[in-house]
Amino acid sequence: MKGIVCKVCSYVAINEIVPEQCPVCGAKSFIEKDDALKTSADKAEKGETEKKHIPDIKIHKACGLIPDACNDVHVKIGEILHPMLTEHNIQHVDLYANREFISRVMFTPDRLNPVASIHLKSGFSGKLAAVELCNVHGLWFNEVDF
């Protein structure tokens, strides 16, 4: 999948608009790539690699912390939990609402599982996307309707 990638931090502009500066690190250095992101459509049948990398997005309409004002969004990296070793790990997951960047969650190998949770304000509708970066297998994308 096409994307505009920050050369410094691997943020991807999935809306295909080159930002003035990276919303994550502030850099002004981007490269446009036709194959920036891998998706489930890259393979006809999901193999083990895809099952460990495609972000699994779950939306819970009832928030446990802020009832009636929030939706919980959980992202687990992979249908099969991705390893978190020094030599092979998920470095971060970026979240997008209607293809606009909203958050980055960083991971530390050997201490964290590759899962993230955010609390999205009520009233949002559209598409929610996740892009994760594996230090071995690159950037992976998934998007769901909200």
Single out the residue of 117, 93, 119 nearest to residue 107, CA to CA: 93
Has 119 been annotated as catalytic? no
Has 82 been annotated as catalytic? yes
Q: Are 114 and 90 in contact (CB under 8 A)?
A: yes
Which of 6, 22, 70, 134 does the annotation list as catalytic? 134
Which of 52, 70, 76, 132 does the annotation list as catalytic? 52
Which of 33, 46, 51, 88 does the annotation list as catalytic? 88
CA dist 116 and 92 (Å) reads 9
Has 74 been annotated as catalytic? no
Has 60 been annotated as catalytic? no
Which of 33, 46, 51, 137 does the annotation list as catalytic? 137
Has 137 been annotated as catalytic? yes
Which of 16, 32, 48, 100 does the annotation list as catalytic? 48
Which of 76, 82, 132, 143 does the annotation list as catalytic? 82
SS3 140: strand
Has 134 been annotated as catalytic? yes
Question: DSSP E strands: which ranges in 1-146?
Answer: 3-6, 12-13, 30-33, 55-60, 70-77, 90-97, 100-106, 115-121, 127-134, 138-145
Has 132 been annotated as catalytic? no
Which of 53, 70, 76, 143 does the annotation list as catalytic? 53
Residues that are catalytic = 48, 52-53, 82, 88, 134, 137
